Amino acid sequence: MSALPKFEFQVGENWQLHQFPKVFVREQTKGPARLKIAASERGSDILLQLAAVLGESFALLYVLVVPRGGSAEGRYQSPWLGREQMAEMFGKFADYWDQDGRHHVWLFSQSDRATLVYDQHNVIFAYGPLEDYVRLLEASGFAEARALPFPAPHTHCYHPTFDPLERELTSLPNWQHSPLREGDAW
């Protein structure tokens, strides 16, 4: 299957695939510092590369903001996963996460207390060992930038072809479902 658009912006009367440049931005939040990383293509691969510098165990949080496959909106939390189990999840669901805008995917490393958030705007927010992330990103051709502006207006694309994967992911055994929290549907 050829890649489907996840995030588009409007030019005149038409919608076009939005492509960020290969950049990252350092940001200071009210809490910890983080990186904001452009992930226009294969963001799930970038997420796995970043996770390679983190120790096990991992937890995934799938945040379904716009259900369209018959699932309930909400947060779906995995049990603790080893690196191989995590890689299997990415192998199964990466195309869905990369090509559909109905969700966010969070990855948490217990040993590093680090969090990676891949959002519906094709942006990864990285908390944890920032300098390790920077070295990895720069080795992969990313450059540091001052800002990563979002296009306006923009839209998120939801593709019926991924509805079965939504249902499969939200019905995995041993995953805990909870309601969305304020800020999840940004």
d(CA 25, CA 102): 24
- What Rg value do the Cα atoms of the chain yield, rounded? 16
Average pLDDT over residues 95-115: 96
> Is pLDDT above 60 for 103?
yes
How many CB atoms sit inside 10 A of residue 36's CB? 18
Q: Which of 18, 42, 50, 54 is nearest to 125 (CA)?
A: 50
pTM for this entry: 0.94
DSSP line for 100-144: --SEEEEEEETTTTEEEEE-TTSEEEEES-HHHHHHHHHHTT-EE
120-168 pLDDT, tens per residue? 988 999 999 999 999 999 999 999 999 998 878 888 889 999 999 999 9
- Amino acid identity of residue 84, one-letter, is E
